[in-house]
Amino acid sequence: MDELRFAKYHGTGNDFVLVEDLDDSLRLSPGLIAAICDRHLGVGADGVIRITRSPAGGFFMDYSNADGSVAEMCGNGIRCVGKLLYERGHTKESTLEVDTRGGRKRLDIDVRDGRVVSVTVGMGLPAFRRGEIPMLGPANESFLLEPFEASGRTFKASAVSMGNPHLVLFVEEDPDGFPVRDVGPLVEHSELFPEHTNVEFVALADGELRARVWERGVGETMACGTGACAVAVAANEAGLVPERATVRFPGGALEVERLADGTVDLTGPAEHVFDGVLDAAWLAGRDVGRSAS
């Protein structure tokens, strides 16, 4: 491959490298993805999203974490996909569906003067059963406001899947001062989660949920879309917030609403940062090429 064209986007500070591959011809290896996401030697990002056509029609979000591991879903990333698809003329619809490994998601795009200013994502139903998350233990039981021990402390915790696993830890102190980078990796790799887990640290303050997140396969990020949904749903189940809540991360605020049918909507911004090209010299020796298909 002579070059790889990409676009850099972020949603509330959660940043991504997006690659348009609508003819589904590119093969991006885990090693290449990790190299692209390297913040010192590559572009720098929390993940890479390859946008291609869905076999069922429409578009597919092929998402990988910064370490090259494949992920099911990314709420901030899919908003960036919606912005790119609309502003680059791949669709003229302000409502569209995008397939992910976590299922098909509906996007409602708020367009003003030809620019996408925010996107609402229909995130689907949260799952609470251990077998659906997945989490070890009785498959049909939930894990809501249960004690969870980590790093010598006991937290009240709730496990939720929003297409990917999350463990929400309720902390008494302001999350800004919490040792997320010490506790996060311990919980991510807990033996209770066979596929590892994302971890949110959350407290209620001034009527909104303040949170930090340790993302599976990435580390701490500025925000997390599925994490915001997990936080709001867990807090709603605990009676801390109503069906609509604001979740504020270091990168900004996201709005989450739990609808009457139990599904969850996520609303937030998406921003285009810059476009770039990785040239042949940078790509040399890295595992990248054209798909055999």
What CA–CA distance (Å, rounded) separates 37 from 17?
8
Residue type, 38: D
Q: Is 74 a catalytic residue?
A: yes
Catalytic residue among 37, 74, 80, 229: 74
Identify the bridge partners of residue 251 per DSSP, sorted by sequence position: none
For residues 119 and 110, is the Cβ–Cβ distance under 8 A? yes
For residues 8 and 43, is the Cβ–Cβ distance under 8 A? yes
Q: Tell which residue, 19, 70, 12, has the closest CA to residue 43.
A: 19
Catalytic residue among 37, 80, 224, 229: 224
Q: Is 224 a catalytic residue?
A: yes
Point out the residues that are catalytic. 74, 224
